[in-house]
Amino acid sequence: MAEYEILLVLVGLAIFGAVVLPRVLSDVPMSFPIIYVAAGAILFSLPLGVETPDPVRHGDLAERLTELVVIIALMGAGLKLDRPFDWRAWSNTWRLLAITMPVTIVATAVLGWGLLGALLPTAILLGAVVAPTDPVLASDVQASPPTEAIDEQTDPEEQEGEIRFALTSEAGLNDGLAFPFTHLAIAAAAAAGASSLGWVGEWFLVHVLYEIAVGVVVGYLVGQLIARVIFSRAVTTELGKVMEGAEVLAATFITYGLTELLHGYGFIAVFVAALELRHYEWEHEYHVAIHDYAVMVERIVMAAVLVLFGGTIAGGLFDPLTMLDVTVGLLLVFVIRPTAGLLGLFGTSMPWRERLVVSSFGIRGVGSFYYLAFALNEATFAERELLVAADKLWALVGFVALASIVVHGISANTVMSAFE
């Protein structure tokens, strides 16, 4: 058999598993990402004559595949959030973004620079890459699907669990807000040896102020426009019923594409557009259809990407790791994120045990893969990376993601069930 046909079979098995496993294991507290990664490692270990995936050699492909699954997951995450948008109701989210995320980045960068001996740009990149809570792999701790009855006068925390809301909203926004720090690493690599710090001002104006603003504005406008079209007329034809929910995929691609064309942050735009879709006609039953369609596509693409991730492990992704690298990776999952989360939520009305859960379940995964691939594909950073092998970065980030998938995947259902 040709390699291409074998790859089709492997990806087909991944998609089939994404569809069938939730039915077969509906009563079993099981994390499906663990199954997909394990299946990929096993399948690519078989003597099938298929080249194992390599994100270092195929950086462009790694970037595009992970980009696709993240934007679809961001749309699904936004559609889950029933809570009306206001500063008070989202106060815990702002704390996680303004305190927890920067603390995680700085602490990780210090570890990378001080313990691993990485160059400063590489250390900053490592911090930016592992900081976001992943919207793709956090389904077990995310908010529930859209409801059909929303009372905007009700206390927001009574409408849905604060743990699920905080983690879902954080994952929706910090995937986009990690971009400025990724660009900071790239800019620092390009400016290495320069005597002037003028590049810092340019980075702040362009990659912080302008690109975030474009993401928010485009997301709001496109979300409003598409919502008006979707909810203006009821579906009456058979073809329309067959295609129910597909508008959400179009909305995702249109929003992301337009924002990127304007050099804004497409991740932020997609999440904002999803919030606008969800907040338009709160009680409309069609919200369930568009949410379910987004989740279906997300699960299929996620399964394929995680099987490929398992294939990279079978191909020796972790070979460059040392015990020091493993120690740093475990510190990121078990110490840095939980500590940064508790710092961010200090002084809130949230009970301590809930703060501990939110702090501990900052899941790392596909979003981290995207940011690493994006940065290493930048020419200026790739040149600087000659001093620190890209395969070491991929190995460390891959280990952090795998540790998070296993630990959080095993514990999520049990912990969330105990609270609910």
The pLDDT value given to residue 156 = 44
User: Residue 65 carries which side chain, given as an amino acid letter?
Assistant: L
SS3 of residue 136 by DSSP: coil
The structure tokens 């939730």 sit at 22
The structure tokens 């296993």 sit at 406
Which residue from 306, 300, 299, 304 is spatially nearest to 37, judged by alpha carbons? 306
pLDDT tens digits, residue range 37-71? 998 898 888 887 778 889 988 889 999 999 999 99
Six token digits for residue 419:
């609270």
The pLDDT value given to residue 301 = 86
pLDDT tens digits, residue range 97-146? 999 999 999 999 999 999 988 888 889 999 999 998 887 766 666 655 66
d(CA 217, CA 154): 28
pLDDT band at 86 (very low <50, low <70, confident <90, very high): confident
The pLDDT value given to residue 140 = 62
Top mean pLDDT of 129-143, 260-274, 300-314, 403-417 is at: 260-274
pLDDT tens digits, residue range 364-380? 888 999 999 998 888 67
Which residue from 266, 263, 255, 262 is spatially nearest to 207, judged by alpha carbons? 263
d(CA 185, CA 165): 31
Which residue from 167, 105, 180 is spatially nearest to 133, judged by alpha carbons? 167
Q: Write down the pTM of the prediction.
A: 0.89
**Where do the domains of the chain lie?**
3-419
Using H for helix, E for strand and C for coil, what is the string for 255-292? HHHHHHHCCCCHHHHHHHHHHHHHHCCCCCCHHHHHHH
Q: What contacts 66, CB < 8 A, 6 or more positions away?
A: 305, 366, 367, 369, 370, 373
Q: What's phi and psi for 53, nearest 5 deg?
A: -60, 140
Q: What contacts 175, CB < 8 A, 6 or more positions away?
A: 70, 74, 132, 133, 134, 135, 267, 271, 367
Q: Which fold has domain 3-419?
A: Na+/H+ antiporter like fold (1.20.1530)
Asked if residue 400 has pLDDT above 90, the reply is yes
